[in-house]
């Protein structure tokens, strides 16, 4: 089956004379637009008269911070950077697929596995940073005698985490985009509206699931065995 490309990717192919993967172009587009929007939107922050963008940003920040506090507890807000980045990047990527002429980067399994691998690296990094060599005890089970049994099981379990994260995000976004696209082409008026609303809901839910699981993995990594 021929892979559909976004309008931006088609334009880039004509300008460069090369065939650039659509997921790469769209992911770069999301990153550049997001960084530019945040840089412009945060230049004039105000306590007395916050703008619309500032209010949206504060709402998003407080929502993520509340989940961090509830799941990880004391000192959880030091993990705001990776979790906030995952939240913004995935949410915008998911919603981008609802705009005609664009494809969601998270509808490609390479992108979702890359994000899942980043989550894997992040929580293990924080685990090692918090506990040093003692982090290895998380893989040993409750008793030393059971370590030879628990260690391979725990390793397999941790390896399965990024696989699960990547497949879940890819499957939901890809499936939702395909269904919405079919109905949009068949009946472009009125009928696609419920599917667009469903797509928005799926975009938010999948972002929340990815962020929450990443928080849970961090919480398990930094707590004492």
Q: Is residue 39 pLDDT above 80, yes or no? A: yes
Query: Over the stretch 40-73, which tens digit does the pLDDT of each residue have?
Result: 888 887 777 788 888 888 888 899 999 999 998 8
Residue 20 or residue 196, greater confidence: 20
Q: In b/e form, how buried is each residue of 174-213, taking b as 16+ CB within 10 angstroms?
A: bebbeebbeebeeeeeeebeebeeebeebbeebbbebbeb
Q: Residue 185: its pLDDT value, please? A: 64
pLDDT, position 186 = 63
Domain ranges of the chain: 50-222
**What's the pLDDT score for residue 131?**
84
User: In this predicted structure, what is the pLDDT of residue 2?
Assistant: 45
Q: What are phi and psi of 3, to 5 degrees?
A: -80, 130
pLDDT number for residue 4: 65
Rg (CA), the chain: 20
Which pLDDT value is given to residue 214?
95
What does the pLDDT read at residue 1?
A: 41
- What is the mean predicted confidence (pLDDT) over 163-172? 94
**Integer angstrom CA distances of residue 161 from 32, 115, 140, 165:** 29, 12, 18, 6
The proportion of the chain whose per-residue pLDDT surpasses 90, expressed as a percent, equals 43
Task: Write down the pLDDT at residue 100.
Answer: 79
pLDDT value at residue 88: 93
The pTM of the full predicted model, rounded to 2 decimals, is 0.86
Distance CA 106, CA 89 (A): 10
Residue 182: the pLDDT is: 67
Structure confidence at residue 124 (pLDDT) = 93
């Amino acid at each position: 089956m021929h892979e559909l490309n976004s309008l931006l990717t088609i334009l880039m192919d004509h300008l460069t004379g090369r065939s650039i993967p659509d997921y790469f172009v769209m992911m770069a587009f999301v990153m550049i637009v997001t960084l530019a929007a945040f840089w412009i939107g945060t230049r004039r922050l105000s306590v007395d008269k916050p703008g619309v963008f500032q209010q949206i940003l504060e709402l998003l920040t407080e929502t993520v911070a509340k989940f961090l506090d509830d799941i990880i507890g004391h000192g959880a807000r030091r993990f705001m950077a990776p979790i906030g980045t995952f939240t913004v990047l995935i949410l915008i990527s998911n919603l981008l697929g609802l705009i005609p002429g664009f494809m969601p980067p998270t509808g490609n399994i390479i992108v979702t596995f890359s994000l899942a691998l980043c989550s894997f690296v992040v929580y293990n990094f924080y685990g090692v940073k918090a506990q040093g060599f003692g982090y290895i005890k998380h893989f040993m089970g409750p008793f030393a005698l059971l370590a030879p049994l628990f260690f391979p099981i725990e390793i397999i379990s941790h390896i399965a985490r990024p696989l699960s994260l990547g497949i879940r995000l890819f499957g939901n976004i890809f499936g939702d985009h395909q269904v919405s696209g079919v109905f949009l082409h068949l009946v472009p008026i009125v009928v696609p509206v419920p599917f667009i609303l469903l797509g928005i809901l799926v975009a938010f839910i999948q972002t929340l699931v990815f962020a929450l699981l990443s928080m849970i993995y961090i919480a398990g990594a930094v707590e004492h065995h």
